[in-house]
Structure formats: structure tokens, C-alpha cells
């Protein structure tokens, strides 16, 4: 196995922190070498609100992943989300430099630099600038312009920005654990790497990662990212609604949501009941399972409506041909696919992480879409770094790991 590509990824979610270590095997398949999952404390709605608690959660997850992989993690791809994220599309234009008019990497880099010149407030920072498509002398829809002839190169780029303070808080938490942040990757972009097929992205698809604190949305058209957005509402709000509606503690609401929850009330026996611990009274009280389902349905409907608003905001009012792919822990809810089909009137499927080997059984859950996607993103950008894809690559974990081992070995 080539060791040059060993990569680590940390998904700092609102409910769990998941660290993965992976590498390509001889056949070019990504192998998961180590997993570390710990409950997340210190985050609200995808953002760090308590540094010490977040650092503890990350440290626990990183230690577990190090133990299970036998690798020391010195740097990692890290996911970012939260309501502070916003995105826009911008165009960059340059004249082709070379006298033979063959477009080179440097022309593409200059075009991207030109697309980057946007006015953003000083309290915001660019997280991603991703090329969507190129136009050469008016001919649009070019995916890779390098090597083609032209006088003028235009690039359509997707730009994601975030609040400097939120970015710094997250970076600081990871650094305090002794891990360097290689790239900050927007969570819906990461999740898309692991759950969407190339065909779906080509045809036009919406990805919604409904986690604990945020619903991360990505719209993909003609193989490229078109729109990204993060809504500060997800599974945590469902449990909150259940806790209030059934007058039960939050922890009980979480448990009954996962055990008996269903997003499609008409699929539930109208007579079926469950015993639920309530506030104030001794013991438990029977409630109709259908009532639980109605509470869930109302909140999921609201989230789906907000997703539709985002699709509209992206400029695509009509339905995207490949429909909606739901992922994130809340996509485990039975009936969510049926409800989403009814609300959006489009094809819907639940997306599990794909494209990996190794310790895959443990990750066969939509909740791990972001973590697996971060790893795939890291490995892909590492192997593409020579052609400047996304221009975001920094260093390799393995080289640093070897440096660290050498320091420890007796001379
Ligand atoms: N079987 C299930 N039924 C309903 N909800 C579930 C189920 N399994 C997990 N969840 C919910 O999924 C949520 C956690 O999802 P996930 O692990 O994707 O979130 P996260 O990545 O930690 O948070 P975020 O991405 O929002 O910051 C929790 O609200 C949890 O209650
Ligand atoms: Mg998540």
C-alpha cells in the first residue's frame, strides 16, 4: 500500500465528533484505517460556543482514531458549518498569456484569482473558491481548459465565505489538540463527496445533510457545485419539539425519537401506544405513537420547505432532475423519504457514504456522510494537487508523521 496519501479528517458535528484516517489501496480504493467517534460537547447549531468542551471532544475522537489506526494524526481536513456561512457565484476573466495561445495552469490560476476579487466585509473570510465551468472565447461549458487554444478565458466560480471568528474558534480548537488544519471544508461539500454519484451531480441534484444542529444544503448542476447553504435547524429541534409536546426530558425525547420515531404518521397504527416518562408525574404515561409521528412530521416538513426555499434562492425554481438526496443522522428516520417525496414532488433517496473500503460497516450510516466525504476530499485533492484542482492542497500527513517518528527514534 502506498503510504504517500494517508489522510485524516475530523467532522466536528453538533452531536458527535468523528475522526477518520484513510489511504488508497493498491487498486485505488479508499481504505478506512482508523475511526474515532466521541460525543460532541461545546457546539450549538454547528458552531463552537465552548472552546474547552469542544477541545475535549475533539481530543477524545482523535485519540480513538490514532489508537485504531496506529497512526499519529498531525494534520487533518476539518469540516465547517453554521449559520454564518454564505455563498455566491462570481466570474473571473483573463487574457491568455502565452504567444501560442495554449491555455496553461497559470492562466487558470489567474482566472481564479480574478474571480476571487469580490468585496467582502473584514469580518468575513473566503473558505472555498471552486471553479464550476470555464468559457473560452465565448464557448461555454468547458470543464478543463488546460491545453486548449484561446485568447480569453472566463471562469465561473462558487465562493463560500464564513465569519472570521467562527473559523478561528474552530481552527483553534483543532490546533489545541495538536492537529494542524490542512483545509477547512464546508460540510455539504464534504457530504456530497461521499453520497452523490457523478450522474446525479451531472443531471442536477440537491443534497441535504440533516444532522443534529444544522441542515447543510448543496445544489449540484452539470457536475459542479451551484449553491451551498447551512440552515441552523435539524434533529436537535425535532427532539426539542418532542420534549415540549410530550412534556418529557430532552434525553427521553431523543431516545423515543430514535426508537419509535417515524416521519409519516399515516404509516403508523392509529391505536399503537408507547409509555413515556413525563415531567412532574411519577412513572410513565401512554401516548399514541402516531402523535409522536405527527410532531416529527411537522418539523421535518418545515425543514423540507426551507430546503425548497434554498433551491429557489439558488435560481432553480423547477425541480432538479435527480431530485433530493437526504443524508446526516436525521435521514435515519423511517418515513422521511416518503414524506420528502410528498412535500417536494420529486425523486428522493437516503444517501449512505459510498466509495470506501476497510472499516466500512461502522460507517454505513448517513450520519457519517460528512466524515467520509472529508476524507475523500482530502485524498482527491492530494492526488490532484499537481494540476491545481481547487488550489487548496497543503502538505501531507504522512511526511509529517515520518518526521515525527524520526524525531523520536534514537539516532
Ligand atoms: N434513527 C434515528 N432516527 C431519528 N433521528 C436520528 C436517528 N439516528 C440519529 N438521529 C439524529 O441525528 C442527529 C445527529 O446527526 P449527525 O450525526 O449527522 O449530526 P452532527 O453531524 O453531529 O451534527 P451537525 O452536522 O448538525 O452539526 C441527532 O439529532 C440524532 O437524534
Ligand atoms: Mg454533521
Residue-level pLDDT, tens digit, the chain, 411 residues: 345 568 999 999 999 999 999 999 888 889 999 999 999 999 999 999 999 999 999 999 999 999 999 999 999 999 999 999 999 999 999 999 889 999 999 999 999 999 999 999 999 999 999 999 999 999 999 999 999 999 999 999 999 999 999 999 999 999 999 999 999 999 999 999 999 999 999 999 999 999 999 999 999 998 999 999 999 999 999 999 999 999 999 999 999 999 999 999 999 999 999 999 888 767 889 999 999 999 999 999 999 999 999 999 988 877 689 999 999 999 999 999 999 999 999 999 999 999 898 878 889 999 999 999 999 999 988 765 533 333 333 333 333 443 344 444 443
Q: Could you tell me if residue 113 is inside a domain?
A: yes
For the CA of 81, the nearest ligand: 1
Between strands 284-288 and 273-277, the pairing is antiparallel
CA atoms within 13 A on the CB side of 379: 29
Rounded to two decimals, what is the model's pTM?
0.90
96 lines ligand 1 (CB under 6 A): no
- Among all ligands shown, which has an atom nearest to the Cα of 45? 1
State how far the Cα of 227 lies from the Cα of 207, in Å rounded to an integer: 10
User: Domains in the chain: how many in total?
Assistant: 1
Distance 213 CA to ligand 1 centre (A): 8
Q: Determine, yes or no, domain membership for 154.
A: yes
Count how many residues are written for the chain.
411
User: What pairs with residue 169 in β-bridges?
Assistant: none
The answer as to whether 254 is a domain residue is no
The DSSP code for 234 is S
Q: 335: Cβ below 6 Å to ligand 1?
A: no
Residue 213 belongs to some domain of the structure: no
Distance (Å, whole) CA 223 – CA 209: 19
Answer yes or no: is 63 within a domain. no
Ligand 1 binding pocket includes 82 (Cβ within 6 Å)? no
Is residue 66 assigned to a domain? no
CATH code where residue 140 lies:
3.30.1490.110
- C-alpha cell belonging to residue 392: 487548496
Tell me whether residue 93 is in a domain: yes
Q: Whose CA is nearest to atom 20 of ligand 1?
A: 13
In a domain, 109, yes or no: yes
Which atom of ligand 1 lies nearest, measured to the CA of 46?
A: 27
Amino acid at each position: 500500500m502506498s503510504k504517500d496519501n494517508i489522510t485524516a479528517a475530523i467532522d466536528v458535528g453538533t452531536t458527535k465528533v468523528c475522526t477518520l484516517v484513510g489511504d488508497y489501496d493498491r487498486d485505488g480504493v479508499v481504505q478506512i484505517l482508523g475511526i474515532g467517534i466521541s460525543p460532541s460537547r461545546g457546539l450549538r447549531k454547528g458552531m463552537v460556543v465552548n472552546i474547552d468542551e469542544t477541545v475535549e471532544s475533539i481530543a477524545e475522537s482523535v485519540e480513538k482514531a490514532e489508537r485504531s489506526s496506529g497512526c499519529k494524526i498531525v494534520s487533518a481536513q476539518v469540516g465547517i458549518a453554521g449559520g454564518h456561512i454564505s455563498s455566491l457565484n462570481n466570474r473571473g476573466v483573463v487574457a491568455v498569456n502565452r504567444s501560442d495561445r495554449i491555455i496553461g495552469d497559470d492562466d487558470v490560476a489567474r482566472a481564479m484569482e480574478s474571480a476571487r476579487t469580490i468585496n467582502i466585509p473584514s469580518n468575513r473570510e473566503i473558505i472555498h473558491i471552486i471553479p464550476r465551468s470555464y468559457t473560452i472565447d465565448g464557448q461555454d461549458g468547458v470543464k478543463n481548459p488546460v491545453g486548449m487554444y484561446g485568447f480569453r478565458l472566463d471562469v465561473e466560480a462558487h465562493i463560500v465565505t464564513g465569519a472570521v471568528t467562527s473559523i478561528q474558534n474552530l481552527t483553534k480548537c483543532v490546533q489545541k489538540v495538536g492537529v494542524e488544519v490542512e483545509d477547512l471544508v464546508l460540510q455539504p461539500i464534504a457530504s456530497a463527496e461521499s453520497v452523490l454519484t457523478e450522474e446525479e451531480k451531472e443531471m442536477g441534484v440537491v443534497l441535504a445533510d440533516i444532522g443534529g444542529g444544522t441542515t447543510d444544503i448543496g445544489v449540484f448542476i452539470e457536475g459542479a457545485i451551484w449553491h451551498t447553504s447551512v440552515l441552523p435547524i435539524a434533529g436537535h429541534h425535532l427532539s426539542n419539539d418532542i420534549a415540549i409536546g410530550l412534556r418529557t426530558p430532552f434525553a427521553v425525547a431523543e431516545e423515543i425519537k430514535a426508537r419509535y420515531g417515524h416521519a409519516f404518521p399515516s404509516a403508523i397504527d392509529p391505536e399503537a401506544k408507547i409509555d413515556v416518562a413525563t415531567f412532574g408525574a411519577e412513572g410513565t404515561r401512554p401516548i399514541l405513537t402516531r402523535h409522536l409521528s405527527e410532531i416529527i412530521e411537522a418539523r421535518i416538513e418545515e425543514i423540507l420547505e426551507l430546503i425548497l426555499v434554498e433551491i429557489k434562492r439558488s435560481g432553480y425554481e423547477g425541480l432538479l432532475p435527480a431530485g433530493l438526496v437526504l443524508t446526516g443522522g436525521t435521514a435515519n428516520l423511517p418515513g422521511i423519504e416518503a414524506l420528502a417525496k410528498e412535500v417536494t414532488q420529486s425523486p428522493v433517496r437516503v444517501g449512505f457514504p459510498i466509495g470506501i473500503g476497510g472499516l466500512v460497516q461502522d460507517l454505513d450510516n448517513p450520519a457519517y456522510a460528512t466524515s467520509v466525504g472529508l476524507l475523500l476530499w482530502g485524498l482527491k485533492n492530494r492526488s490532484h494537487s499537481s494540476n491545481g484542482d481547487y488550489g487548496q492542497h497543503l502538505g501531507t500527513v504522512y511526511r509529517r508523521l515520518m518526521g515525527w517518528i524520526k524525531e523520536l527514534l534514537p539516532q
